[in-house]
Structure 1
Amino acid sequence: MSKKNIRILALGFFISGIILVLTSLLMPGNQSANGQTGNVEELESEITYLEEKIAQLEVAQTSQAETTSEEVEQPADETETSDTEEDASSNEDEVKDESKEEEPEEDPVIKATITIGEGEPSSVAAQQLESESIIEDRYDFDSFLEDNDYAPLVRPGSYEINSEMTYEEIAQKLMGN
């Protein structure tokens, strides 16, 4: 190609580039700038809504905590203001009944069947135990198995496990002992 042809080709590319830039700037359908500002406005309104919701929930939680503390203080006031022994003993019985109700109930024993397949690592068993709510932290149980060198001894099969078992008992069961 000659020098003249290359200059004409370069001029054509330059002019077509200018035309593309002008059309993208001057066309009314320029979505890039308008779309971003609309999106920002939507996000700001959502943030405002969520902040209001958080404030409402905090107020509700505070009022609920206050009513709970008032209910706890009320039986103590009743026993202090009683004049006769009969009133005092009946109020004490009420307080004892309420304290029995406030005691946390023991968690029910959870029983589950854990299945370990051939070639599966001990972390699979730990994951199943956590999903069945037998243990609280699968990483803690898995590190227990690793620390005591039980991990390679875990055997494939199905095992009946319950939530009252200790880590050691669960490990012994998973090893087939």
Structure 2
Amino acid sequence: MKQPIRMFGIGLLTAGVIMLGTYFFFSGSVNTVDNLTNDELVSIIEEKGYHVLSNSEYIAASVNESSAQSEESKENNKNAESDNSSTDQEKEDSANDKEKDQAEEDKPKTYTLHIEEGMASSDISSSLEENEIIDDSSEFNDYMEENDYSLRVQLGEFEVNSDMSLYEIAEAITR
């Protein structure tokens, strides 16, 4: 038993000596960022196609950019003022459209869910999400798993709507 352990130790020592020798003899002189001067760094960066700015050049460029943005915002404000001069009829029409859209959004959506044999609970939740009955199919899947509803899903057609809670939907499809 001592012989294999000694040979393993000698092998490790030999590998360490070889790696140490390789590191010292073949590493050479590597230029790191710490060893280079600023002028050398700038020339290397410019060779790669970048442009180096001094602090004063950067500040000047930033000021010019912010003044250009403020001029653009002034032009946008002028355009907005000219757009605001639309007729009262257009305003009334848009207000009526908004009211109709909101009334449609407030109306609960109903859906007849068809559950067939072999249908997974993930398929059911995806179908409910596609028809805008639930907001998040993974949340419904998690709810079904945590409350042991996924094993009690019944076959058939079930009427569900978007006003129902996850509990109510789960109860409806497991009866």
TM-score, reference length from structure 2: 0.42
TM-score, reference length from structure 1: 0.42
